[in-house]
Structure 1
Amino acid sequence: MPAPLLLRLAGGLSAGLLSMSPAGAAPAAAPGQVPDTIAQRAAACTTCHGKEGRATNQGYFPRIAGKPAGYLYNQLVNFREGRRHYPLMTYLVEHLSDAYLMEIAQHFASLDLPYPPPQTSGAPAAQLEHGRRLVQQGDPARQLPACVACHGNALTGVKPSIPGLLGVPRDYLNGQLGAWKNAQRRAHAPDCMAKIASQLTPEDIAAVSTWLSSQPVPADAKPVAALPQALPVACGGVGAQ
């Protein structure tokens, strides 16, 4: 994105987030004024993440509606503190408090909205099988846990802080796995995803993102309350599962 456009967009978005105090502190809006609610202020996020944060299954920007609040909060903090890198996100959150970031996270986590149909179709059968095997079974020979072992059997995420993997754009999945592999994205230590991604080949990443983006999202896509077993690896920032 060209720098002047980025600055103009950032300026417009930041006005929605920074010009108003957290919800509950301001008086009711007078007729003709924009209401001071968290939904109104968080509308700045929908410029990139789509109406109500539901995004689409195309392009790069991920869906944030319905993701666990702890996960959304952690990512906002990671952008603010430099563990994740995207200039516009950093610009938006660099001066926001922990409490305000949690308020934003809880707002989007509370939204229960339908998902679009699968993005990917017609992928090679061998690639799909490779991806399915890694997602559902992992690779014990390489000490790679299955994705379902952490993200839930239905891959819809786990409260409070593990995201779902279905309904996410393939390009975004590729980009984030690549960012972890190349140390461009980090999380709270111990960074389990960095450890896992470092062992993935480019073919593994393409297969996993292709299989995940070809799967329909179940009707009940809410994150589950808990995993049936302990996490296979230690992960910082996810709390006790």
Structure 2
Amino acid sequence: MAVMSMTLFAALRCAGLLLLALAGAPAPAAPAPQDTLAQRLQACTVCHGAEGRATPQGYHPRLAGKPADYLYQQLLAFRDGRRPNAVMAGLMAPLSDAYLREIAAYFATLDLPYPPPARPAASPAQLRRGEQLVRQGDKARGLPACAACHGAGLGGRLPGIPGLLGLPPDYLLGQLGAWRVGQRRAQDPDCMAELARRLSPEDVAAVTRWIAHQPVPPGLQPEAPAPLPEPCGAAP
């Protein structure tokens, strides 16, 4: 019993000395916080989805893989009041042109899979009309095909025209409506505003529903620059 008591006493004494040594030792240094552009821009994913990839539902657009010049021009438009959005304007207000270019370049380089299309309810006749306007346009109404500017695959066109596939239908509908009523503006000549005003409300619905029904092919990328059917200040 005496031997056990001595052994227990020695163990407790060693433990106490170890605790005293640890108490006097300096705490391990906390790792230095990282400050990368990717970490700073995680705030954007609250609305736009993980790494700038929007979900099919909702109103916010995808950022990943859009042409850098397009993203930069939109950030400028939010900051400078040409594209009204109180939240975006507040976020962009303190940022310099150079920093906005960095943000645009970061999202432009992301290559992420698209979510499946939302496929909103649409009649066969509405989908046929939507495809006609997107692929061929309507010469009688002075409407060039959407594909003439946004690319045959609708993945956008360099340097500054965005893709149309993979966007939430509510967002597509909202943006065409904003162009029509002058809520969204671009540099003169404002081709999108002019073209949107030539669309009837029925045509706006047909175009957005047909686009929203389309799957996004793997590897979709913006196409090379090409002559546009109309002068467009936002895409020289």
More helix by share: 2
Aligned to 1:42: 41
TM-score by length of 1: 0.84
Distance in 1 of aligned mates of 2:158 and 2:83: 21
Aligned to 1:125: 124
Report Cα offsets for 1:10-61 as digits up to 9, x if no partner.
xxxxxxxxxxxxxxxxxxxx95343111111111111100000001111100
| 1:152, distance to aligned residue in structure 2 (A) | 0.3
Q: How does 1:1-241 map to 2 (within 5 A)?
A: 31-120=30-119, 123-227=122-226, 230-239=227-236
Distance in 1 of aligned mates of 2:202 and 2:92: 35
| 1:121, distance to aligned residue in structure 2 (A) | 5.2
Distance in 2 of aligned mates of 1:87 and 1:95: 14
| 1:116, distance to aligned residue in structure 2 (A) | 1.1
Distance in 1 of aligned mates of 2:96 and 2:198: 35
TM-score by length of 2: 0.85
Change (3 A) 1:214 1:164: same
Report Cα offsets for 1:116-170 as digits up to 9, x if no partner.
1111155210000010000001110111110000000000001110000000011
Report Cα offsets for 1:77-136 as digits up to 9, x if no partner.
000111111110000001211110010000000000000111115521000001000000
Q: Please tell me whether Structure 1 or Structure 2 has the larger radius of gyration of its CA atoms.
A: 2
Q: Identity across aligned pairs (percent)?
A: 60
The secondary structure found in structure 2 opposite 1:135 is: helix
Give the aligned CA root-mean-square deviation in angstroms.
Answer: 1.2
Q: Which runs of 4+ in 1 moved over 2 A?
A: 30-34
Change (3 A) 1:33 1:165: same
Contact 2:120 2:169 in 1 (8 A): no
User: Which sections of structure 1, spanning at least 5 residues, go unmatched?
Assistant: 1-29
User: Which sections of structure 2, spanning at least 5 residues, go unmatched?
Assistant: 1-28
Aligned length: 208
Query: What is the identity, as a one-letter code, of the residue corresponding to 1:113?
Result: L
Contact 2:54 2:167 in 1 (8 A): no
The secondary structure found in structure 2 opposite 1:233 is: coil
Change (3 A) 1:33 1:68: same
